[in-house]
Amino acid sequence: MSEYILEIKHVSKYFHGLVAINDLSMKVKKGQIYGIIGPNGAGKTTLFNCITGIYTPEEGQILWKGKEIKGTTPFKIAELGILRTFQTIRLFAEMSVAENIMSGRHIKSKQKWYNGIIHTPAYYKDEKENWEKVGELMDFFNLSEYATIPAGDLSYGIQRRIEMARALAAEPELLILDEPAAGLNENETLELTQTILKIQAMGVTIMMIEHDMEMVMSLTEYITVINFGARISAGLPAFVQDDPVVVEAYIGSDEEDEHE
Amino acid sequence: MMTKTSMIALVLLIFMGFFPMFVDSAWLAVGTTFLVFSVVAFSQDIILGRAGVFHMGHALFFGLGAYTTAILNVQFGWPILATWAPSVLIPMVCAFLLAGPIIHLKGDYLLVATIGFNIIFIQILENDVFGLTGGPNGIFGIDIVRLFGIQFASQTYMYYMAFILLGITLFIMRNLDKSKFGRAMFYINKDEIAAQSMGISIRYYKLYAFILGAGIAGAAGSMFSVQYSAVSPEAFNVTQSIMFFTIVLVGGSASLPGVLIGTFIMFVLPEVFREFATARYLVFGLAMILTMILRPRGIWPVKFGNIPSFLKKDVK
Ligand SMILES: Nc1ncnc2c1ncn2[C@@H]1O[C@H](COP(=O)(O)OP(=O)(O)O)[C@@H](O)[C@H]1O
Ligand SMILES: [Mg+2]
């Protein structure tokens, strides 16, 4: 097996004939923090949706530990150890923080089909272990004081933490973060940076889309820049930052924004 | 220590337990019907309130249970006790076969499909397709439960059998809610994309809800057929399905007290106001509309956050 845990090879994805991802390739090493940047609408979220099975790309291959996973349903992708957060937060809003995080324990829970009707000693053991894990994650993300509060009632920054805790509860091998710092204030962003480093230290590979350049530059080991669905640059953060093509793409998109 | 809700539940339990000693036989029958319909409403609530599947054909599974007992007993001479297992299992198998091909449909499409199943079911019963259902008149002369020479014939027996059935149903609902399976249904209900991304198979858990709900409805159907010693198609038509659907939404989806309140309003209050004849249904129509406007989550909405107490220690 190669040193790359995830390989994306010549992937293309179209919406109604329009190309959203165009012949994109990248390789993620185990244990890495891998950054994906690019202007709005570049296709970054679409790429994550292709990896996690929400969309099936028309062309190319997605290899997870050398095995093709293109077209696998989202729940099976999660079972493989690929977990994600969403750019537009997707929590179970009416349910409590603890119950939200418990959803991450779903694939780890060993309850049998009949435990939905009748409880057994094995059920009680399993249930207790999973709630304890939820407790550990609430401690890790400073969420314990909100345990019983409906997730939808909490602030944006806290909701982002709940989403990460939920994904981490599944003990992922690859954690995919879609703009985790969006909507966070400066303190919260600093805290998030520390948290992501701690998650990496646990041995989790991380892929992240992020617009906060300071954060991307300080965290990531390798970056791919996407524009109009295609790779326009890739390399170490310091290289990408000064690549004229990248600078051009961002200036171009800024001008477009002004016209809107 | 007891919470307010469990206090109310205990008082209610004691009241329901002694109810037959204070009322005449007419009211006892109303009480039994309330218990049986509560069981059906809870089974609907597994599918609609928990898994969030807009299923409007639940009277089909209720009817399948009732007709299974009626046919096996009257046409084939099985004792009632022996019909209990098939009256649960046949609706479960049918739920798997019927829901399988439509479970991926979105809310409104699935709703229409389930109504379609219910209509076909009634057609089969009325046209006596297999020569077993007795056509529009149904089947009469269903036996009573007999065990060790005891005949459970009186309305009081009927009441307590329904009471036990409701107890078993509540026990299952509680276990479901405290398991991976009940939680998965809630996650799917609240956000399918997020649920899938956490590794939850939408299809598996929606089918689980359907099959479990159908089995419980079938048990209630069997009880219902013995209570009235007869079954006929109109007791299981789409109007009945709409009633079960409405009970859940008016009472409060996934809320145990809510569903009991919903059943009380829909099936017991009409009996209380019997002298107002059909005008009483006007009031219920209005009540349904007002509840949806004023309390869209139901009269007694579900409350989440039932987590082990050791996780609550830091909550302010
Ligand atoms: N489900 C969809 N249907 C049609 N077009 C889509 C869909 N999802 C994304 N797109 C289009 O694909 C392009 C890339 O979007 P997206 O991946 O969200 O960009 P980014 O995350 O880089 O901002 C956009 O033009 C967007 O409108
Ligand atoms: Mg995006």
**Closest to A240 (Cα-Cα) out of A253, A252, A231:** A231
Partner-chain contact A74 B191, CB within 8 Å? no
Tokens found for residue A181: 């710092």
* DSSP line for B170-226: HHHHHHHHTSHHHHHHHHHHH-HHHHHHTT--HHHHHHHHHHHHHHHHHHHHHHHHH
Residue A43 located in a structural domain: yes
The contacts of residue B120 (CB under 8 Å, 6+ apart) are none
Quick one: pLDDT at residue B130?
80
Q: What is the DSSP letter of B145?
A: E
Return the H-helix or E-strand segment holding B146: strand B145-147
Quick one: pLDDT at residue A220?
95
Q: Are residues A68 and A104 in the same domain?
A: no
Handedness of CA B292, B295, B296, B297 (dihedral sign): negative
Residue A88 located in a structural domain: no
Three-class SS of residue B231?
Answer: strand
Q: Are residues A203 and A223 in the same domain?
A: yes
CA B278 – CA B270 distance, rounded (Å): 9
Quick one: pLDDT at residue B316?
78
Quick one: pLDDT at residue B78?
94
Number of structural domains in chain B:
1
Quick one: pLDDT at residue A256?
44
Q: Closest Cα to atom 14, ligand 1: which residue?
A: A43
Residue A179 belongs to a domain with what CATH number?
Answer: 3.40.50.300
Residue A86 located in a structural domain: no
Return the H-helix or E-strand segment holding B147: strand B145-147
- Using one digit for the tens of pLDDT, what is the confidence trace for B238-263? 999 999 999 999 999 999 999 999 99
Number of structural domains in chain A:
2
Q: Provide φ and ψ at A225, rounded to 5°.
A: -105, 130
Number of Cβ pairs closer than 8 Å across A and B? 143
Q: Are residues A34 and A107 in the same domain?
A: no
Residue A48 located in a structural domain: yes
Of A105, A139, A170, the one marking the end of a domain is A170
Residue A49 CA to ligand 1 centre (angstroms): 10
**Closest to B236 (Cα-Cα) out of B214, B254, B264, B251:** B214
Q: Are residues A57 and A109 in the same domain?
A: no
How do beta strands B150-152 and B145-147 pair? antiparallel
Low-confidence ranges of chain B (pLDDT < 70): 1-2, 274-280, 283
Of A131, A147, A170, the one marking the end of a domain is A170
pLDDT along chain A (260 residues), means of 10: 88 94 96 94 96 96 95 96 96 97 97 96 97 97 96 95 97 97 92 95 96 90 94 91 84 50
Quick one: pLDDT at residue A218?
92
Q: Are residues A15 and A71 in the same domain?
A: yes
Interface of B with A (CB under 8 A): 172, 175-176, 178-184, 186-187, 190-191, 193-202, 208, 212, 304-305, 307-308, 310-316
Q: Are residues A3 and A112 in the same domain?
A: no
Quick one: pLDDT at residue B260?
93
Residue A192 located in a structural domain: yes
Whether the CB-CB separation of A48 and A224 falls below 8 Å is answered with: no
Structural domain span for residue A150: 93-170
Q: Are residues A188 and A145 in the same domain?
A: no
- Residue whose entry in the numeric block shows the structure tokens 């990460």: A164
Ligand 1 contacts CB of residue A20 (under 6 A): yes
The residues that bridge with A83 in the sheet, in sequence order, are A175
Number of other CB atoms surrounding residue A244 within 10 Å: 8
Number of other CB atoms surrounding residue B182 within 10 Å: 21
Question: How far is the alpha carbon of B191 from chain A, nearest alpha carbon, in Å?
Answer: 6
Residue A24 located in a structural domain: yes
Tokens found for residue A31: 């244990």
Residue B35 located in a structural domain: yes
Ligand 1 contacts CB of residue A22 (under 6 A): no
CA B165 – CA A234 distance, rounded (Å): 65
Partner-chain contact B307 A96, CB within 8 Å? yes
CA A122 – CA A199 distance, rounded (Å): 30
Q: Are residues A256 and A212 in the same domain?
A: yes
Quick one: pLDDT at residue A194?
95
Q: Closest Cα to atom 24, ligand 1: which residue?
A: A41
When scoring A148, A158, A173, A174 by the number of chain B Cβ atoms within 10 A, the one with the most, hence best to mutate, is A148
Residue B305 located in a structural domain: no
Residue B273 located in a structural domain: no
How do beta strands A222-227 and A230-235 pair? antiparallel
Q: Are residues A195 and A259 in the same domain?
A: yes
Q: Are residues A186 and A233 in the same domain?
A: yes
Residue A87 located in a structural domain: no
Tokens found for residue B157: 């027996």
Quick one: pLDDT at residue B2?
63
Q: Which of A14, A15, A178 to mutate to test the pocket of ligand 1 (most atoms within 8 A of CB)?
A: A15
The C-alpha R_g of chain B, in whole angstroms, comes to 20
Residue A55 located in a structural domain: yes
Partner-chain contact B179 A91, CB within 8 Å? no
Partner-chain contact A84 B197, CB within 8 Å? yes
Q: Are residues A177 and A254 in the same domain?
A: yes
CA B172 – CA B252 distance, rounded (Å): 18
Three-class SS of residue B106?
Answer: coil
Give A147's contacts in chain B (Cβ within 8 Å).
305, 307, 311-312, 314-315
Residue B276 located in a structural domain: no
- Residue whose entry in the numeric block shows the structure tokens 């050791």: B310
Q: Are residues A257 and A179 in the same domain?
A: yes
Partner-chain contact B182 A116, CB within 8 Å? yes
Structural domain span for residue B143: 27-235
Secondary structure string (H, E, C) spanning chain A: CCCEEEEEEEEEEEECCEEEEEEEEEEEECCCEEEEECCCCCCHHHHHHHHCCCCCCCEEEEEECCEECCCCCHHHHHHHCEEECCCCCCCCCCCEHHHHHHHHHCCCCCCCHHHHCCCCHHHHHHHHHHHHHHHHHHHHCCCHHHCCCEHHHCCHHHHHHHHHHHHHHCCCCEEEEECCCCCCCHHHHHHHHHHHHHHHHCCCEEEEECCCHHHHHHHCCEEEEEECCEEEEEECHHHHHHCHHHHHHHHHHHHHHHHC
Whether the CB-CB separation of A163 and B198 falls below 8 Å is answered with: no
Nearest chain A residue to B196 by CA: give it. A75
Of A170, A205, A231, the one marking the end of a domain is A170
Partner-chain contact A79 B315, CB within 8 Å? no
CA B146 – CA B151 distance, rounded (Å): 5
Residue B193 located in a structural domain: yes
